[in-house]
Chains A and B, each alone.
Chain A
Amino acid sequence: MTKKDDGHDMMPVDFSDLSPEKLHELFKTRGLQFDVRSRHPAVQTILQEVQPGDVGVDYDKQFDKDVKGDFDKGFDRDKPA
């Protein structure tokens, strides 16, 4: 068992029985993502991209985030020239 920053318990979970599709459903219905953490730093960074209040994926918001968030990155769509 590990501790969250706020002191609540974090339990390792056997997500192999919980498919990504069921995880997606949980995210959509319960906003669970804020309480999922990863020991892998890059996965954790990705999990932190979701802001409190987000439930599921709002594609307008997602696109807006992509546009605004990537202004300083020299990296674009996925087709070569």
Chain B
Amino acid sequence: MDRPPIFHYTLVKLAARCNITCSYCYWFRDPEVYERPPLLTQDVEDAFLRRVAEHWATHRSDSFYVLFHGGEPLLFGKSRFLQFATRLREAADRHRVRLRLSTTTNGLLVDEDWARIFLQQRVSVTLSLDGPPAFNDRRRLTFAGASTYAGVEKALQTLRDGGIEPGVLAVCDPSTSPDELVDHFVTRLRLRWFDVLVPDATRDEKPASIARYYKRLFDIWFDDLARQRVHVRYVENVTRALVGIGSTSESLGYGPIRTLTLNTDGALEPLDVLRIAGTDRVRSEINVRTHSLQDAQSNPAWRRAYEASLQLAVECRECRYRSACGGGFLPSRWSAERGFDNPSAYCADLQEILDHAWSRIHPTLAVNSGLLHDATAVP
């Protein structure tokens, strides 16, 4: 690593368990997670508070981002959540750090008390929902096989009643209609921010094609939603990446993966989604009880992920979308045979999506006439 990054962000696993069972969940694809404490232990919480304060002082941080995640993070319980968030806020105030707190939840435990805690601690909230009931309940069910839709819809209303407007994350099911999903999200639920995530898959799998789905989603956004100021993160990131601004997502665009994950036992691990490529991709002897946050960069798994995110496969280096795509999401580059030295499992789809988006975007562009000659003269 030529310039080790200073961490600005920690993904904190408040719970290693969940209260529902989603068919595609990356976390529980790795059975090793069941060997971790179900909830972030109190001594790990204490150690993290010490370490993050030390980190802010050492690196003179002026901003930091903590995302409470799981499993299902609200299994952590209201009193502990409130205590942890309060202590983080107090520490940030002492160090004059601007702290962003957020959580991603399936929503089933959300009630008025949770909404009050989120509002009081300024925790931004993202709900997971895969669209209308017919879509959502294909893959997001309780352990008894019951629908989760009504619970999430209720959570959305409870949060709104409490003064919080959440974002929503769906996972793409390419066999469904993006038009129906958008209609449900925008017309029925009145969402202004949502994303439709690419399903997790390594190169050793053969995921269903997503190209047709995302090309249509792009068109819906480009022709309609954008004018209504409804944000769809994936297609906006496709646009950002294509016009050279750089995607703000870890799943698209060339750039380093710098995620630091705190597991419930204190292990400081790389990007949690790498578990789909096997436990070894996240294995870490670095623990927040005994190490600084920056020490996570000495963990071979963290370093491999970071370096792989910057060292693209030869096919990617020669691709017309090298920067815009950047090999896609790092876990999707993994194969048992070649490690991360692959294009994405979705490579053909990504090229098709980017081709389509570029065909819509470039006719809208204009350039200063003084630079026209320079631009077209590039070989």
Residues of chain A whose beta carbon lies under 8 Å from any beta carbon of chain B: 1-2, 4, 8-27, 30, 32-33, 35-43, 46-47, 49-50, 57, 59-60, 62-64, 66-68, 70-81
Contact = CB atoms under 8 A, between A and B. Distances in A.
Interface string B227-243: 10001011010011111
B125 interface: yes
A78 B232 CA distance: 12
Contacts, number: 215
Given A63-B258, A71-B98, A78-B250, A32 B375 contact: yes
A13 B167 contact: no
Contacts of A14: 362
Interface of B: 5, 8-9, 11, 18, 22, 25-26, 63-65, 67, 69-73, 98, 100, 102-106, 124-126, 128, 164-167, 169-171, 193, 195, 197, 221-222, 226-227, 231, 233-234, 236, 239-246, 248-251, 255-256, 258, 272-273, 319-324, 354, 358-359, 361-372, 374-376, 378
Given A20-B324, A46-B239, A67-B65, A78 B100 contact: no
B69 A79 contact: yes
Contacts of A50: 245
A31 B269 CA distance: 37
13 contacts: A10-B366, A13-B375, A21-B320, A21-B321, A24-B244, A35-B371, A39-B366, A42-B221, A63-B8, A74-B164, A74-B166, A78-B195, A79-B272
A18 to B, nearest CB: 6
Interface centre among B233, B258, B366, B369 (most CB of A within 10 A): B366
A24 B165 CA distance: 35
B197 A12 contact: no
B142 to A, nearest CB: 14
A21 B323 contact: yes
A47 B367 CA distance: 12
B104 A81 contact: yes
Contact of B126 (A43, A72, A76): A76
Contacts of B9: 63, 67
Nearest to A57: B246
A67 B320 contact: no
Contacts of B164: 74
Contacts of B103: 76, 81
Given A76-B104, A81-B105, A20 B98 contact: no
Contacts of B322: 21
